[in-house]
A and B are shown apart, each in its own frame.
Chain A
Amino acid sequence: MAAALLAGALVMTGCARDTGAAGGGGSAGGEACATGTAPSGGAAAAPTSAAATKPDASSLKVGVAYDIGGRGDQSFNDSAYAGIEKAVADFGLAEANVKELTAAPNEPEDAAATRLRQLAADGYNPIIAVGFKYATPLAKVAAELPNTQFAIVDDNSIDLPNVTSLVFAEEQGSFLVGVAAALKSKACHIGFVGGVDVPLIQKFEAGYTQGAKAVAPNIKIESKYITPAGDFTGFQDPQKGNVVATGELDAGADVIYHAAGASGAGVFSAVKAKSTPDSPKYAIGVDSDQYLTADPAVRDVIITSMLKRVDVAVYDFIGAVASNNLGALPKIFDLKVDGVGYSTTGGQVDDIVAQLDAYKNAIINGSITVQSTK
C-alpha cells in the first residue's frame, strides 16, 4: 500500500495534494491526480426499482411523444424506448399497443400540444412525454384530460394529479465520472464538452467538476459548450463537437467528458485522433453506455459513460401505472435507485471501481452532497 502511494507521488507533478485519509490509490500506478481521499463506505444500497410482483401491462396502450431526433438518436429518446422494450418483455405490454410520435425541430408550442392530444384521442393512456420542452403544452393538455395519465421526462414543474415527473440527479452520476476522469488523468487536466449551454447540461458540468475536485482539488478543468442557449444544434453537430474537444485536448486536457447528445461522436473521434500509445487520451460518454453504441473505431478511448437511466424511469412508470401504484415511484431518479450511474463496459475503469463505489456510497448515505449548479 505504501509502495503504491509512493509510486503515485512520484508520477505526480503540478497537483496540490490533499493529504487526507489514505484509502484510494491502491490500484495500478499512473493516477497522477489521485490524492487518495476516497471515502470509505459499505456495500451499495440495493436498487429499489424492482417491484415484488410483476405488474400486468397487457391491457395498457402506451403513447410516447419523443423530443427532437426521436428513435435512433443514440441518446435519451433511444433510452426511453429501451424502457418501453423492457416493459414489453417483462410486463406483457403488447407492442401493437405502443405508439410513438416525434417532435420536429423548432416547432411552436401548439404542435407539441396537438401531438399529446392525438395520442390521447386515439385512446393511449398512459402517455409519456420525453423532454422538458413538453412542460407547458403538457400542463395545458393534462388539465383538459384528467382521466389520462401522463409522465414527463426531465421536468418537475407541473403540479397535476395525472402528471408524473421523471427527473434525474444528473449531477450525481456526473460526479462519479468526474472522479474517474481525475483518477485517470495523467496531466491532472481534464475537459468537459456541453452540447447547449442550458441549465440541464450545466448540471452535468457542475457534478463533473465537483467529482474531479473531490479527488484533486487543484485539477485544471476545461469547460466549453458547443452552442449558446436557444441554439439546439449543439446536440446534433459532431463536427463542432470535434472542434471543441480538439481545442480542449490542445489546451492539455487528457480526459474529456461530453454531455452533447449526437455531437458526442465528434468528441470521441477528436480524442481518438489525439490519443497515442505514449500519451493516451480518454473520453467519457453520456446517457447510455456509449462503449456499446459508439462507432467501433473509437470505442477503445471510451473509459466509462455517465448513465442516465431514462429507460429505468420509463419502465418503472409503466409498471407503476399497470399496478396502480404511482405513489411508489421515486421523486427523483438518483444514485440510490440506480436512476443514474456509470458504466464499466470495456474494463478500463475496473482498477478504480473500488474508489468510484466508495464515492457512490458516500453520496447515497449523504456524507457527500452534490450541488446541481456551479
Chain B
Amino acid sequence: MSRLQTTLLPPLLAVLFAALLCSIALLISGDNPGAALAVMVTQLGAGTTAVDVINTGAVYYIAGLAVAVGFKMKLFNIGVEGQFRIAACVAAIVGGLLPLPPVLHVIVILLTGMLVGMLWALVPALLRAYRGVSEVISTIMLNAVATGVIAWLISPAAFGFVQGNNISTPPIAPTGHFPGIDLGPSGTIFGMVFVAALLGVGYWFLLGRTRFGFELTASGESPTAATAGGVEARRMVLIAMLMSGAVAGLIGLPEVLGREHAYTLVAPQGYGFTGIAIALLGRNHPAGIAVGALLWAFLDKSALALDNIGVPREIVLIMQGVIVLSVVVAYEIVRRYAMAAEQRRVAAELRAQQQPVAEGAAT
C-alpha cells in the first residue's frame, strides 16, 4: 500500500464505520437513517449553516493545532480549554478599553490573547520542566481556576457590563473588529478563518521544515536520545507548552473579533476539549487537523438539523465518539496490514533473488 493509502484509508474507514453504527442506532430507535443523512447534507444549503461550518471549523482548527503542538512533544495539554477562555476574556477587555486605530487595534487584541494563553500555560510548563509535575493534572486544575478568574473579570465590580440579564466585557469599538467576507443571507465568513489557515501553514513549516521542529519531535520521541544529540529536553518542554498556550489564546478570538465583539457570560465553552479529539483525528498533521475540524464542525451543525426533524441530536455525539475511537483502531489495523504486506513483498523479492542462485547451485 502506498503512503497515501495508509494515511487516508483509516479515517475514511472510521467515518464509514461510525455512519454504519449510527444507522443501526437510528434504526433501533425507530428513525430513518436515510432521511437523517439527507437532512445532514441539505442543511448546508439552509440559512447560514455552510458559513457556520467554516467559521466553527476555523475555531476547531486553531484548537486542534494548539493541542497538536503539545502532542508533538508528548505533552498532553488539557489546559487548552482554560487557556483559550481566559485569553479570550482578557483580550476582549483590553480590546474594549483601549481606543486604538484600525489594524493596530486588532493586532493588539490578537497579541494579548496569545500572551495571556502563554502565561496561563507558563505555570504548568515550569512545573513540568523543573519539578516533573504532570501537565495533565496542573492544566486541568488551572481550567477550574480560569473559570473563577473569568467570573471575577466579567463581574460588574471589575470590568463587566450588565445588559439585561447578561454580562459582558466592554464592547470592542469597530476599529477592533476583524472584517469578514459578507455573503448576505448566507452569513459572514470570519476574517480569522484565514489567520487560522496561515497558522496551519506556520505549524507545518515550523515543525516539519526547521531544525527547531526536528528537535521538538525528537525530544518528544525520546528525551534521552535528544539529550544525547545535544538538545536540551527541558527547554523543549517549556517552548512546546508555551507555544501550545499561545495558539490556544487565539481559539476564542474568531468569535470575539468577528461576531460578538465582547466576551459574554454565555460565551461558548469546550473548544479546548474538542481540540484534543480533532488533534487525535488529524494525527497532528496540519492537513489532517483541517479535515477533522471541518468534519467536527459539520457534525455539530448537523445536530441542529437533526433535532429539527425530530431525530435525537445525541446521535451526533455517538458519531463523534465512534469516529475518534475507530480512527485510532483503524490506524493500528492499517499499520499492521501494511507491515504484513511489506513483509510479504520483501519476502517475495528475496525469494525471487534467491531463486536464480538456488537454480545456479543445482546445475
Contact = CB atoms under 8 A, between A and B. Distances in A.
Contacts of A107: 268
A215 B163 CA distance: 32
A109 B301 contact: no
Max chain A CB contacts within 10 Å: which of B49, B56, B151, B155? B151
A113 B300 CA distance: 14
A154 interface: yes
Given A110-B52, A156-B164, A104 B303 contact: yes
B166 interface: yes
A236 to B, nearest CB: 14
Given A114-B47, A229-B151, A109 B167 contact: no
Given A115-B304, A230-B151, A198 B167 contact: yes
B308 interface: yes
A101 B269 contact: no
B52 A114 contact: yes
A360 to B, nearest CB: 24
Interface stretch (B111-119, B258-266, B345-353): B258-266
A109 B308 contact: no
Max chain B CB contacts within 10 Å: which of A106, A114, A154? A114
B304 A144 contact: no
A117 B47 contact: yes
A113 B307 CA distance: 14
A114 B165 contact: no
A78 to B, nearest CB: 19
A108 B165 contact: no
B162 interface: yes
Contacts of A115: 304, 307-308
A230 B150 contact: yes
Interface string B25-63: 000000000000000000000111100100110010000
A155 interface: yes
A254 to B, nearest CB: 30
Interface string B157-173: 00000111111000000
Given A230-B151, A230-B265, A114 B164 contact: no
A133 interface: yes
Interface in A171-195: none
Contacts of A101: 307-308
B260 A136 contact: yes
A155 B147 CA distance: 24
Given A106-B269, A109-B259, A114-B301, A199 B56 contact: no
A70 to B, nearest CB: 10
A228 B151 contact: yes
B165 to A, nearest CB: 4
A229 B167 contact: yes
A117 B56 CA distance: 18
Contacts of B266: 132-133
B154 interface: yes
Interface string A133-154: 1011000000010000000001
B267 interface: yes
Given A132-B166, A229-B265, A230-B267, A110 B147 contact: no
A262 to B, nearest CB: 18
B260 A109 contact: yes
B147 A228 contact: yes
Contact of A104 (B46, B150, B164, B313): B313
Contacts of A133: 166, 266
A77 B321 CA distance: 29
A293 interface: no
B308 A118 contact: yes
14 contacts: A106-B270, A111-B301, A114-B47, A115-B307, A135-B163, A136-B264, A155-B166, A197-B151, A198-B265, A227-B147, A229-B167, A230-B147, A230-B150, A230-B151
Given A108-B59, A117-B46, A121-B46, 12 more contacts: A108-B255, A109-B255, A110-B187, A111-B301, A115-B304, A135-B164, A135-B166, A136-B264, A156-B164, A199-B167, A228-B147, A230-B150
Interface pairs A-B: 8 shortest CB-CB: A228-B151, A157-B164, A132-B165, A229-B151, A108-B268, A200-B165, A106-B269, A117-B47
